[in-house]
Structure 1
Amino acid sequence: MQEPVDTNGFDADRSNDLGSPPIEALDSDDALWSQLGGHEPAPPPGPDAVFPPRSTQLQVTTVTSHSAHVLPDRRPSPLPNLDLTKTPFYSDLLWTLRNAFGLRTFRPNQLEACTASMQGHDVFVLMPTGGGKSLCFQLPAVVKNAQMDGVTVVISPLVSLMHDQVSALRAKGVKVACFVGDQTSEEANNVHQMLKTPRHRPAILYATPEKLDKSERLKNDLQALYEAGLLVRIVADEAHCIVTWGRNFRDSYKDFTWIRDRYPSVPVIALTATANKQAIQDIIARLRMRNCVQYAMSFNRPNLLYEVRERGSVNVMKDDIARMINSQYRGKTGIIYYSSRDKCETFAKQLRKAGIVAEHYHASLPVSEKERVQQQWQAGHVKVIVATIAFGMGIDKPDVRFVIHCSLPNSLSDYYQETGRAGRDGLPSDCILYYHYSDAHFIMRRAREEAWERRNADHADNAIEHIRRVVQYCLNAVNCRRQQVLAYFDEQFDPEDCHDFCDNCKDKTPAIAVDVTEHAVRFVNLVQQAQQAGLLAARGTLIKAFLGKLDPTRNKGYDQLQVLDVDIAKSAGKELVERLHDHLIARGILVGTTEPNKFTGYTQDCTRVSETGRAYRDAF
């Protein structure tokens, strides 16, 4: 293995080995080569060692993109039953796995994905968090570089993620470089020179999508490599960002078709831990992947305990969390997600007052401070991080014992990604989500505001649909949490296999089915009346009006609203009506809006009847 060339002055002492498989508790075969007693090339192990027993059913399918301008694929189709130890790539892949990466065997689907990529196929890799996705492109990249000075280009969404992966690879002796916005011109020139110099040419070149999209000099360098046959593959890491960030706020993620236009014969690999069938189709189409080989594993993380708690007041929730950490998680590592930067800072300070070693993390912190906090947490000196969603992508700390959401995640996909940072060592870990409707309304309002700014109604519709799914998940106190999460990813799951490892399965109280159709129709009628009367009807006011507990002298106009048979309405009780309102929101029958109040001059949150709601009401 050739000596690394350090061009950007990254901290090579950082030991966060991002993207590699979890430590031994999840895969006892992942022993360091130095522990095997030598540095000679390892003989191929037997089939049981190469393909360890699998607890999940794996899928290998072929999908053809129907995008325009796709070149015909004349490469041989992959053979699912092929003995991968007999391919011409196996010995090089295994030798590099052991000698460069210090791993003894492949984890599920890694050898398959590496082999398909070495064959020149487009490959889509769907692996759960901590499953070793990055090895699927890093290993072939190192092999190809050793054989022919070939370069693998990796499109990565976050600068911090790139820095960590670059440091980890350099520590292994891998030639690697990256282009990021915070480089000096001297550092950037150094990388350009590396690409032109065979002796220093990197095996892997990391770049943000913005750099690839906007730097003509980089495009010209890559074009020269392509024409020389040295651009061996292009990788879209964290590929779900293509359909989430590209739709929302990063323009460079919107259109990757130029990659296939400029480098039509270069194979593409897309990797993610979070994508349902629709997202996979969107990613394949946007990257114009052709005859794409897919490797998918179960999304189930059996060691994670999922729980949803109704949130009362914010202060009560914070006190509960502080007590819980000091009792259940004393001295253990965890992540707490909160929706805003100020809330993160305030709560971290409160936890420190409670004797908990906690720090806050958000996007507005200086880079040096973010690095300090992350390094302190990785090293175990800081036990709890209170963070916005800016923290976590690419984090591979194995001993995270809890992930707590004080605010709702934006989608079930985000929830899976964020909770997936717990328990990567295979030991039991807790994922607790605090639910309050106000969080859902805030996300919906923000989506509408962003859509208005961008003149893009689809943005709001998509974001609102995602948060509705989260609300449905929170309100469902009967079905297995694991089953609900996996269903989002189009995966069937038998609740018996949960083994009472979620709050709903643990609760053995018999579930009682209650038909609330009559209450639902009455409530929708009440909202419609308020809407027609020009009243700005908020959730709490509507619930009080429905239960006959609203003071008409303090709420003008509401005395005109009619709830047929108030006694029946009162029999429902406040808790049921609150849940009913939220269910109707989650089903799209009612919608939360924000409208101007002509008396106060401010905006006010309201509940309105949607088109779906009017059809629902008319059906009864």
Structure 2
Amino acid sequence: MSAQPSETLAATPEQILQDVFGYAQFRGAQRDIVHHVTAGGDALVLMPTGGGKSLCYQIPAIARHRAGRGVTVVVSPLIALMHDQVGALHEAGVDAAFLNSTLDWRETQEIEGRLARADITLLYAAPERVTTPRFLELLDGLAARGQLALFAIDEAHCVSQWGHDFRPEYRQLALLHERYPQVPRIALTATADALTRADIVERLQLQEAGQFVSSFDRPNIRYGIVEKKDATTQLLRFIEREHAGEAGVVYCQSRKRVEEVAQALVEAGIDALPYHAGLDAAVRQRHQDRFLREEAVVMVATIAFGMGIDKPDVRFVAHLDMPKNIEGYYQETGRAGRDGLPAEAWMAYGLQDVVNQRRMIDESPGPEEFKQVMRGKLDALLALAEATDCRRVRLLRYFGEESQPCGNCDNCLMPPAVWDGTDAARKLLSTVYRVQQQSGISFGAGHIMDILRGKATEKVKQFGHERVSTFGLGAEFSEPQLRGVLRQLIAIGAIAVNAEKFNTLQLTDGSRAVLKGEVPVRLRESISAPTPSTRSRRSRGEGKAPAVAAAAAPLDAAGQARFAALKTWRAEVAKANNLPAYVIFHDATLAAIAQRAPASLGDLQGISGIGASKLEKYGAQVLEVCAQNGLNG
């Protein structure tokens, strides 16, 4: 579609950025995206979590509404996200609303009436609602009067079967373009590889859209992966050593595991809460609200939790089970450190994780083409986990971005020793072959490793496997080493796990090349060693200081007192308005206020994050807080 002229706009995007949101300048590709969409262009935006995606459609929505072009409809998949986004817009003085199941009939009628009158700047709704005949009828009326300003499709990866969070209802959104071809659209996601990106373009008919791909790098996040031994104990050690008293998210694969880990953390004195789809909706909402509104809460969850969570001060994201693919891993780890301060992505994984993920793919009802793509994505994640070089380089390369070693991941900080596992791999495969040949049945990994290492267990004796020719030939290999070899063999398809027969090992067509020595198997010596303590590095003056005030200049004693008083005030305001504290002001804004020690409203102008509405609403209160007990100088 042709871009509409922007000369008629009542305010420039830069003015809206400053006056409404309180920011002096755009970041990265934001400016180009905002101007393109404001002028009426379609766009596909890939921007990492915390990169400022929301402003890319909110500012065009405000600009186009002020120019008389009507309402922007934001397609959003989660009720919690809608609530917080609308709350934040209200705080900034923007007329926004949502339509979802939390509203009663009267409230729904009121919002629909305002929508019909184009009396709202932004309206948030789920894809299921947007495509209903009732909602489309409302849009038809707006379109007929030229009062449909923009469609913003958030979390656009949900439209793709190759994406990590596919939602079939997103597929229907193509009708927006078919039905309203003159209305510009912006699709946004934090995570999409080339295959997913192409699928988004096709499914949403964005072939003519401008594509804006920002760097996927999140330099403030440290990536670390350890070999799973006693995952809960390892997690406890990680939190107590690195992140005591800080907010974090722990991801587990099953609901049962979520409950167990949350209970273990609570028993260790950590303020932890469970979250999964099996909990009552009211309980889930209560736990999510506590996580968003309180400090130092650790959420233990399945992947049902997290999309659209804007909490800026999450200091760590931990995985106790391997995700399905790099997109899911990147999306989930990206929920750490949205405020730009140091954060960590920590994962423990082991052989059983690989077995489980492979089994889920093999047993999925999809066609073989789908399974092959999913296996490739899992292999890429496994390669990241087993990598001996910079993890950030590998992670970014997956998304098509070249970079240099970061010096901030576990492999960069403590380069692992590497060993040649080819001989061990051949002996493992030979053992699987000979055992099956002798017994006529298959056995699991533990039994195969016992034979190779020469352990005459009761089971080995029962089946006479001490007479297998490979018995004891791998005595020099440790069990962790052999498990690492098995992970690699499963990942490259050189060995299969039969889930229907108690996870027994079976040879595949890919086994032959490894047995012949044509495929080398190289592994890291160990991935279980801890990385240097973040806190010890900070104590030596390395890295950023952990204090929230690091977002601004360092604060002296008086500044720290002001900062603490401002946080207390903010918590009270947030509670009174039923909003997360960061919706009122981010920590960085409070730190800047504390440093400036304002004595007048004029002193507050120009501080990042204080727009006109917030200055009018909270300026006097902020000055009063700073003035109490002589804190303003």
TM-score category by the smaller chain?
0.7 to 0.9
Paired position in structure 2 for 1:484: 394
> How far is 1:534 from its partner?
4.4
1:74 deviation in Å? Answer: 4.9
Percent identity of paired positions between Structure 1 and Structure 2:
34
CA distance 1:534–1:493, change in 2 (3 Å): farther
Residue in structure 2 matching 1:433, options 336, 347, 370: 347
Normalised by the length of structure 1, the TM-score is 0.76
Q: Structure 1: 5+ residue runs without aligned partners? A: 1-72, 79-85, 597-603
Q: How many correspondences in the alignment?
A: 517
- Partner of residue 483, structure 2: 578
CA contact (8 A) 1:305 1:429 kept: yes
Asked if 1 retains the 8 angstrom alpha-carbon contact of 2:494 and 2:508, the reply is yes
Q: Distance in 2 between matches of 1:261 and 1:561?
A: 70
1:130 counterpart residue number: 50
Is 1:588 matched up with 2:493?
yes
Q: Aligned residue for 1:559?
A: 465
Q: Between 224-233 and 413-422, report the one with greater CA deviation.
A: 224-233
- The equivalent residue for 2:65 is 145
> Given the alignment of the two structures, is residue 98 of structure 1 paired with residue 18 of structure 2, yes or no?
yes
Gaps of 5+ in 2: 519-633
TM-aligned CA deviation for residue 131 of structure 1? 0.7
2:193 to 251, 259, 276: 276
The question of whether the paired residues in 2 share the 8 Å contact of 1:552 and 1:559 is answered with no
The residue number in structure 1 matching 2:409 is 502
> What does the per-residue CA deviation read over 1:454-495, in whole Å, with 9 as the maximum and x for residues that have no partner?
x5444544443333322222222x111111211221211211
Supply the distance in 2 between the matched residues of 1:231 and 1:588 (Cα, whole angstroms): 51
2:453–2:474 Cα contact (<8 Å) kept: yes
- The answer for the alignment partner of 1:212 in structure 2 is 130
Q: Is structure 2 residue 442 aligned with structure 1 residue 536? A: yes
Distance 2:49 2:331 in 1: 7
Cα distance change of structure 1 residues 581 and 174 upon mapping to structure 2, 3 Å threshold: same
Q: Distance in 2 between matches of 1:555 and 1:226?
A: 78
Match of 1:399 in 2: 313
Letter in 2 for 1:547: R
Between the aligned partners of 1:187 and 1:102, the Cα distance in structure 2 is 31
The alpha-carbon deviation at position 185 of structure 1 amounts to 3.3
8 A contact 1:468–1:586 mirrored in 2 = yes
| Cα displacement (A) at 1:120 | 2.0
Aligned to 1:607: 505
The answer to whether 1:168 aligns with 2:88 is yes
> Residues 513-553 of structure 1: CA distance to partner in whole angstroms, max 9, x if unpaired?
52x33443343344345566642321222222333435486
Preserved CA contact (<8 Å) 1:410 1:466? yes
Contact 2:72 2:123 survives alignment (8 Å): yes
The one-letter amino acid paired with 1:427 is L
Give how far 1:269 is off.
Answer: 0.8
1:493 and 2:493 are equivalent in the alignment: no
State how 1:55-454 maps to structure 2 within 5 Å.
73-75=1-3, 91-198=11-118, 200=119, 202-213=120-131, 215-244=132-161, 250-313=167-230, 317-449=231-363, 451-452=364-365
CA positional deviation for 1:504: 0.9
Instruction: Report if aligned partners of 1:378, 1:397 keep a CA contact under 8 Å in 2.
Output: yes
SS of 1:595's equivalent? helix
Deviation at 1:222, TM superposition (A): 1.4
Equivalents in 2 of 1:226, 1:617: separation in Å? 66
RMSD over aligned Cα atoms: 2.9
Rounded to whole Å, the distance in 1 between the matches of 2:103 and 2:362 is: 36
Which stretch shows the higher mean deviation, 460-469 or 138-147? Answer: 460-469
Query: Residue 148 of structure 1 aligns to a residue in which SS?
Result: coil
Deviation at 1:561, TM superposition (A): 8.6
1:541–1:550: 8 Å Cα contact kept in structure 2? no
Structure 1: how far apart are the matches of 2:46 and 2:460? 56
Larger mean Cα displacement after TM superposition, 568-577 or 584-593: 568-577
Taking a change above 3 Å as real, the CA distance of residues 574 and 365 of structure 1, as seen in their structure-2 partners, is: closer
The whole-number CA distance in structure 1 between the counterparts of 2:311 and 2:459 is 58
CA distance in 2 between counterparts of 1:370 and 1:242 reads 25
Counterparts in 2 of 1:456 and 1:211: CA distance versus 1, 3 Å = farther
The letter for the 2-side match of 1:482 is: R
Query: What CA distance in whole angstroms lies between the structure 2 residues aligned with 1:406 and 1:512?
Result: 24
Aligned-residue offset at 1:128: 1.4
- 8 A Cα contact 1:129 1:417, kept in partner: yes
